[in-house]
Structures are given as structure tokens and as C-alpha cells.
Amino acid sequence: MAWPAYSKIKVYLSFRRNDKKNYICDLFEKTEVVMNKKAEEKDTGFQSVENALSRTEQYIEENQKSLTIIILAIVVVVGGYLGYKKFYLEPSNKEALAAMYVSEQYFEKDSFKLALNGDGANYGFLDIIDEYSITKAANLSRYYAGICYMRTGQYEEAIENLEKFDAEDIMIATVALGAIGDCYAELDDYEKAASFYVKAGERRKNAFTTPIYLKKAGLVYEELKDYNKALKAYKTIKQEYPTSDEGRVIDKYITALQIKMQ
């Protein structure tokens, strides 16, 4: 016996409603499982943090005495350094700078031996280096001492002091490198002279010091018969610093070198 059409529709809809109901129930069950899992993970995360904090607290409690000693030691070291800097180093540097005044006057008058060794009543640069060794004034005195030694023909002593000089000022640092090159040139060690001239020329390139030391480098390269490096130095001056004092006369050096290379 065939069912009426409307009965078939009713049964079909009944099945569809049951399927939809079952699907929704499954969906709720799956959602609940996922949410429970995330809640468990969250609880686990909080638990891990709590455990870590507990371990940290326990460590602090167990090592409180040691940690206190370490913190106090840091405070003492930092405070000691600040006190040393303020109450010893800074006053010593001011005292050394005042003592340098007479030596600097001698230096400007080209009285290099008096500037170096003092005049009996006033310190020379060597005295300042010895008496105030850790001050900035002593560091600057090394530069002055190096130049004094160089001007009096004591090139090895000059190199020793100039190499120990730690320059913050770019220009003085460049001149110090160039002076070391001059000392090596006087000692006929042209390899080292060229090396220091190149360093001086390349240190913060500018139109004043760079062409000076490139030209000097070119001259010692000629002494070494390394004509290609000499020509490169001269051409750099011509191309990059044509309006400098060296740039205005560099053509004759290039021409003379090219003749020599033929």
C-alpha cells in the first residue's frame, strides 16, 4: 500500500529534523571538548607560571644572605667608582692640567727639552705622565712628549709615546698617526712610514690632512720604488682634492713619476 504523498513528506521532514538535531548535539559536544581542552591548557600554563614563581621565591628565600651580599657588593663597587671619579680623578685631572700650562708655553716657543723635562720649578710633560698617569692630562702629555722627542731627534721615544696616546679628538689623532709616520721615515723604515701615512690620510678624510699624508705616502712609496702605489696616491690628490695646497702642485709630481716609470 502506497503512502500518501503528504505522509512521505512528513516522514522526510522528521528525518531531517532528527539529523539536524543530532548534528547540533554533535557540534555542542565537540565545542565543549575543545573548550575544556583549552581551559585545561590555560590552567596548565597558569600552573607553570605559579610553579616558576614558587621556585623563584624559594630560591630567594634559600639564598637571601648570598643575594644580599652580592647586591651590597655591587652598590659598594659602583659607589666607590663614582666617589673615586668625583673626589680623586676629577681633582687630579684639574691639577694636572694646571701643571701642564708652563710646559705648553715652552712647547709653543719650540723649547722642547724644557717642555719635556720641566725647568726645575715646573713640571714637564714626562713629570705629568708619571705623577698623574691615569688622567686625561697625562694622556695628552703623551702626545706632547711624542712631538717633543720627534723634534729633538729621539724618534724611537717619540713613537713609543705617540702610540700610547689615546686620542678622542679626530684632528689630533690624525696628526699623531702622521707624526709616527714621520719618525719611521727618519729611521729609514719606509714600509712602516707609508703604512702610518696611509692610516693618517684615511682617518676621517678631509681636504686638509688627507692630501698632506697622501703626498707623504707617495714620496715614501717612491723611495721603496713602488711607483704604482705612489702614482695612485698622487692621482687621488689630483682627483679628490684639486684645490688643496698639495692638489695645486701635484701635477709636477705625477709627471716626474711617470718619466721615472718609463
> Tell me: the pLDDT tens digits for 111-169?
999 999 999 999 999 999 999 988 999 999 999 999 999 999 999 999 999 999 998 77
Is 11 part of a structural domain of the chain?
no
| Mean pLDDT of the region 3-12 | 42
pLDDT at residue number 14: 43
Q: What is the CATH number of the domain that holds 260?
A: 1.25.40
Is 13 part of a structural domain of the chain?
no
Is 258 part of a structural domain of the chain?
yes
For residues 1 and 191, what is the distance between their CA atoms, to the nearest angstrom?
Answer: 119
What are the tens digits of pLDDT across the range 67-114? 566 665 564 444 443 443 443 456 677 888 988 999 999 999 999 999
Q: How many domains does the chain contain in total?
A: 2
pLDDT at residue number 24: 45
Chosen domain end from 166, 199, 226: 166
Q: Say if residue 161 is in the same domain as residue 123.
A: yes
Q: Say if residue 84 is in the same domain as residue 154.
A: yes
Q: Which domain holds residue 99?
A: 75-166
Q: Say if residue 93 is in the same domain as residue 158.
A: yes
pLDDT at residue number 4: 47
Specify the amino acid at residue 32.
E
Is 174 part of a structural domain of the chain?
no
Range name among 11-25, 193-207, 241-255 with the lowest pLDDT average: 11-25
pLDDT at residue number 169: 74
Is 178 part of a structural domain of the chain?
no
Q: Say if residue 205 is in the same domain as residue 147.
A: no
Burial of 82 (0-12, 13-18, 19+ CB in 10 A): exposed
Residues with Cβ within 8 Å of 11's Cβ and at least 6 positions away in sequence, in order, are: 3
What are the tens digits of pLDDT across the range 172-222? 999 999 999 999 999 999 999 999 999 999 988 999 999 999 999 999 999
- Reference 231, options 219, 249, 244; nearest CA is 219
Q: Say if residue 142 is in the same domain as residue 196.
A: no
Is 130 part of a structural domain of the chain?
yes
Range name among 10-14, 15-19, 209-213 with the lowest pLDDT average: 10-14
Q: Say if residue 104 is in the same domain as residue 149.
A: yes
Residues with Cβ within 8 Å of 95's Cβ and at least 6 positions away in sequence, in order, are: 132
Is 59 part of a structural domain of the chain?
no
Percent composition of the chain: helix, strand, coil (DSSP 3-state, to 5): 85, 0, 15
Q: Say if residue 201 is in the same domain as residue 244.
A: yes
Q: Say if residue 100 is in the same domain as residue 155.
A: yes
Is 6 part of a structural domain of the chain?
no
Range name among 23-32, 115-124, 189-198, 240-249 with the lowest pLDDT average: 23-32
Q: How many residues does the chain have?
A: 262
